[in-house]
Amino acid sequence: MLNIVLFGPPGAGKGTQSQKLIEKYGLIHLSTGDLLRSEIAQGTELGLKAKKLMDEGLLVPDEVVIGMIESKIADNREVAGFIFDGFPRTVPQAEALDQLLEKYDQGISCMIALQVAEEELVKRLLLRGQTSGRPDDADETLIQKRVQEYNTKTAPVADYYAKQGKFYAVDGIGEIDEIFAKSCEIIGACQT
Ligand code: B4P
């Protein structure tokens, strides 16, 4: 089983790289951002609560995202593995993920952390905002709030995996295919 955490600040390229990795390795893509946006599109109670927080650039409560991931793992037990995109975003989420995978005698193989400077993140998200229709990409103040939320709540997750010897940094600036090639090298080494 190959279970990869794709990590990085908003706009680092997690979604972009996930698409390429799932094709190559036949993994199931679990993006908490996509799952939440789907709840919003369906107008569920969970979606309505999440929308309010996401539109303000804030994280959704841990128990909500952990519950979503738990049911997706349970639904997809017979697979080659998962790519976790945008999850875990807090240390309690990382602890919960380890516990969930342990139930199936599994664990995280490696964390790939895309490193991108704040100035570039803001540029990319404002550009995406011109076509994505995502309210959280709409203005610079909001994007900076998301980055701030990442710095205080999400960045410590890197240490959590570093302590387990599973943290691998990848320069997230450059050609998409180059970043993909570097990620594949790391995954190749983790697979053994
Ligand atoms: P996400 O959907 O995860 O959104 P994101 O952080 O913006 O990353 P995304 O994957 O979409 O962007 P990418 O870097 O690929 O989260 C949205 C919100 O949901 C959060 O703010 C939070 O409120 C909530 N949420 C989600 N998960 C949660 C959790 N676990 N706990 C609590 N709350 C949660 O790409 C960005 C842009 O850069 C794209 O336009 C892309 O084309 C471009 N790009 C990518 N790679 C590039 C490269 N190499 N060069 C140039 N541009 C590049």
Q: What DSSP letter does each residue of the chain carry, written as one string?
A: -EEEEEE-STTSSHHHHHHHHHHHH-PEEEEHHHHHHHHHHHT-HHHHHHHHHHTTTPPPPHHHHHHHHHHHHHHT-SSSEEEEES---SHHHHHHHHHHHHTTT----EEEEEE--HHHHHHHHHHHHHHH--GGGS-HHHHHHHHHHIIIIITHHHHHHHHTT-EEEEE-SS-HHHHHHHHHHHHHHH--
**78 C-alpha to center of ligand 1: Å?**
28
CA atoms of 120 and 162, how far apart (whole Å): 25
Could you count the other beta carbons within 10 Å of the beta carbon of residue 125? 24
Task: Clarify whether 103 is annotated catalytic.
Answer: no
- Mutate which of 64, 124, 160, 183 for ligand 1? The one with the most ligand atoms within 8 Å of its CB, which is 124
Task: Clarify whether 89 is annotated catalytic.
Answer: yes
pLDDT in tens, 41-70: 999 999 999 999 999 999 999 999 999 999
Task: Clarify whether 124 is annotated catalytic.
Answer: no
Checking ipTM against 0.95, whether it exceeds it is no
Q: Is 182 in the pocket of ligand 1 (CB under 6 A)?
A: no
Q: pLDDT tier at 191 (50, 70, 90 boundaries)?
A: confident
Do the Cβ atoms of 117 and 173 come closer than 8 Å?
A: yes
- Mutate which of 18, 36, 37, 147 for ligand 1? The one with the most ligand atoms within 8 Å of its CB, which is 36
CATH superfamily of 2-175: P-loop containing nucleotide triphosphate hydrolases (3.40.50.300)
Q: Is 35 in the pocket of ligand 1 (CB under 6 A)?
A: no
Beta strand 28-31 with 167-171 is: unpaired
pLDDT in tens, 152-188: 999 999 999 999 999 999 999 999 999 999 999 999 9
Q: Residue 148: what pLDDT?
A: 96
Cis peptide leading into residue 88 (ω within 30°): yes
Nearest CA to ligand 1 atom 52: 124
For residue 69, what are its two tokens? 């991931």
Nearest CA to ligand 1 atom 40: 128
Nearest CA to ligand 1 atom 17: 33
pLDDT: which is higher, 46 or 78 = 46
Phi and psi at residue 113, to the nearest 5°: -105, 110
For residue 168, what are its two tokens? 């691998």
Q: Is 96 in the pocket of ligand 1 (CB under 6 A)?
A: no
Its pTM stands at: 0.94
